[in-house]
Amino acid sequence: MANEVLTQTIPYSDAQTEQVKLQTILEARYNYEQLTAAIATDGLRPCEPEAAAYPPSLLDLTRRCWAEVASRRPCASEMHDEIAELLRTAGGGGGGDDG
């Protein structure tokens, strides 16, 4: 669950923080109870990838998705737009919105 759910700040979570839970469970470093405690009390986040391997704007987007405060995380439409722009500037297209 998202930090704000575990700390009972708000009663719902977002996809970005659910990704932290899934990735960590898949890596089998924590069981569910340990993971819940580590996210809520220790600020657990996934390890950052090697910076040289990714565009700085993608790393920035990733960091914002992992923000502790929910209001600082991008919404899905912002993420879509930023990723589409990254793909366009990298020559990889940009999704189905513009054909």
Q: pLDDT by residue (tens digit) across 32-71?
A: 777 778 777 887 777 777 767 788 888 888 888 888 888 9
Q: Is residue 65 part of a domain?
A: yes
More confident residue, 59 or 96: 59
Greatest CA separation found in the chain? 45
User: Is this structure's pTM higher than 0.75?
Assistant: no
Q: Is residue 97 part of a domain?
A: no
Determine the Cα–Cα distance for residues 24 and 79; give it in Å rounded to an integer: 22
Number of domains in the chain: 1
Q: Is residue 85 part of a domain?
A: yes
Q: Is residue 95 part of a domain?
A: no
Q: Is residue 99 part of a domain?
A: no
> What is the DSSP secondary structure assignment for residue 71, as one 8-state letter?
G
Q: What is the mean pLDDT of residues 3-11?
A: 64
Q: Is residue 40 part of a domain?
A: yes
Place of tokens 């919404």: 75
Determine the Cα–Cα distance for residues 3 and 6; give it in Å rounded to an integer: 5
Give the pLDDT band (50/70/90) at residue 99.
very low
